[in-house]
């Protein structure tokens, strides 16, 4: 199988990489690390206590599944803390989510987390998914309310009469179910919205809702993607003021397609700053430039957040490895020699850790 991945570390080897090139590829990584470590300009790699995680969605065809496997395999080289697989609201992707998790569990070095939505499901149906995850060895569940179908009349987001009506209720139920079935700690992540969930009554109500989810037993929150670091940092400060002390993992969405990301942002309440519109103007017809800009932008975003003490980044990969991998490489992931060199030269400041 061929791939279109070109090792960025070997300037004169502009050839297509194939799996049979693995030894050369590993040498290429070392060479990349050596070259980057010699760079005089201030592209500080992140420190060792910084962790990345990657989100994938279940695919609906064999060829897309092969693409996802290839993506996850390539991204595994940067040693993510975990990867997660989404779950369609109302259970629409349930079996595909299970199958994807099982495949990734058997091939990746990193632990695999399962998402779970509760909207439009009975409590029994929701708990059956929790049980299945636990049986599969999943020890990290991303617990979400989920979006009701667009044609739902009430728009309340509430599922059937015997369903969990809020994500906080779901968190408590997952925690109780996990305790029943295993002595191991099951990590529960929940969603957070630095720029406020579009259906929230107010920013205060949204924050109070996050606090409820944490009180119900969530270990960490993963944010909706954002591009305005100031909004995330203000949100982080508000969380801390409100007594929410769990990590607020920064959700990073490298811009695979500016027009697609803009549409997506509009639907989920993420703000696209004016300067980004200018940055991408005219790049629809210049895909190479678009990609280079996007990798640089995502790396700069993470670097700035790291300067403010942020230590966990969750990448919405869209099942595409190139941008996330480039971004992680620019940050020093997958290049241990670069991190060592940078740490001994000038450590990053320790700010308010998230
Ligand atoms: C990290 C992350 C992972 C995600 N993974 C998935 C996934 O795998 N599958 C999936 O389908 N979706 C996923 N989503 C999207 C998520 O399901 C939606 O954002 C959903 O609208 C809210 O879910 P929640 O768990 O945040 O809900 P809650 O915590 O219950 O709500 C969040 C806020 O939105 C308000 N709110 C939400 N819905 C309504 C409503 N209908 N009416 C009034 N107020 C409302 C709440 O009051 C609260 O302020 C993910 C989002 C994030 C950030």
C-alpha of residue 191 to centroid of ligand 1, in Å: 7
pLDDT on residue 155: 42
Q: Answer positive or negative: Cα dihedral of 338, 341, 344, 348.
A: negative
Q: Rounded CA gap, 327 and 334, in Å?
A: 11
Nearest ligand 1 atom to the CA of 144 is 25
β-strands 220-225, 187-192: how paired?
Answer: parallel
Question: Hey, whose CA ends up nearest to atom 13 of ligand 1?
Answer: 146
The string of pLDDT tens digits covering residues 320-343 is: 999 999 999 888 887 766 666 666
C-alpha of residue 278 to centroid of ligand 1, in Å: 30
pLDDT on residue 174: 98
Collapsing DSSP to helix, strand or coil, 172 comes out as helix
Q: Which domains does the chain have, with CATH numbers?
A: 1-41 (no CATH), 50-345 (3.20.20.220)
pTM: 0.86
Q: Output the ligand 1 site: residues, CB below 6 A.
A: 86-89, 115, 117, 142, 144-148, 155-157, 166-167, 191, 197, 199-200, 205-206, 209, 213, 222, 224, 251
Cα–chain center distance at 304: 18
pLDDT on residue 143: 98
Q: Rounded CA gap, 307 and 233, in Å?
A: 11
Among all residues, which ones are annotated catalytic?
55
pLDDT on residue 82: 98
pLDDT on residue 340: 66
pLDDT along the chain (354 residues), means of 10: 32 41 64 62 66 96 95 95 94 92 97 96 96 98 91 49 91 98 97 97 98 98 98 98 98 96 95 96 94 94 91 97 93 71 56 48
Question: Hey, whose CA ends up nearest to atom 15 of ligand 1?
Answer: 146
pLDDT on residue 353: 44
């Amino acid at each position: 199988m061929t791939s279109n991945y070109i090792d960025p570390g070997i300037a004169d080897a502009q050839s297509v990489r194939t799996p049979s090139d693995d030894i050369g590829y590993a040498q290429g990584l070392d060479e990349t690390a050596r070259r980057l470590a010699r760079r005089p300009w201030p592209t500080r790699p992140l420190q060792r206590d910084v962790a990345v995680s990657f989100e994938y969605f279940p695919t609906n065809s064999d060829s897309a599944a092969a693409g996802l496997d290839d993506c996850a395999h390539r991204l595994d080289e940067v040693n993510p803390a975990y990867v997660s697989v989404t779950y369609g609201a109302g259970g629409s992707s349930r079996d595909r989510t299970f199958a994807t998790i099982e495949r990734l569990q058997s091939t990746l070095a990193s632990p695999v987390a399962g998402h779970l939505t509760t909207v439009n499901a009975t409590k029994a149906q929701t708990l059956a998914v929790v049980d299945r995850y636990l049986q599969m060895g999943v020890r990290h569940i991303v617990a979400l309310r989920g979006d009701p179908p667009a044609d739902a009349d009430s728009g309340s987001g509430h599922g059937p009469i015997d369903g969990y009506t809020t994500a906080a209720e779901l968190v408590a139920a997952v925690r109780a179910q996990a305790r029943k079935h295993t002595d191991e700690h099951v990590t529960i992540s929940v969603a957070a919205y630095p720029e406020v969930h579009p259906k929230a009554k107010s920013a205060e109500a949204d924050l109070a809702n996050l606090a409820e989810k944490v009180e119900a037993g969530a270990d960490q929150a993963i944010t909706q993607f954002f591009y305005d670091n100031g909004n995330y940092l203000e949100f982080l400060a508000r969380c801390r003021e409100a007594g929410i002390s769990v990590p607020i993992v920064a959700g990073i969405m490298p811009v695979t397609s500016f027009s697609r990301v803009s549409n997506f942002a509009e639907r989920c309440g993420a703000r696209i700053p004016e300067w980004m519109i200018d940055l991408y103007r005219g790049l629809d017809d210049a895909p190479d430039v678009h990609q280079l800009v996007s990798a640089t932008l995502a790396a700069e975003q993470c670097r700035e957040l790291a300067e403010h003490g942020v230590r966990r980044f969750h990448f919405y990969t869209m099942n595409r490895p190139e941008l996330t991998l480039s971004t992680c490489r620019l940050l020093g992931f997958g290049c241990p020699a670069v991190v060592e060199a940078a740490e001994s030269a000038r450590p990053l400041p320790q700010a308010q850790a998230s």
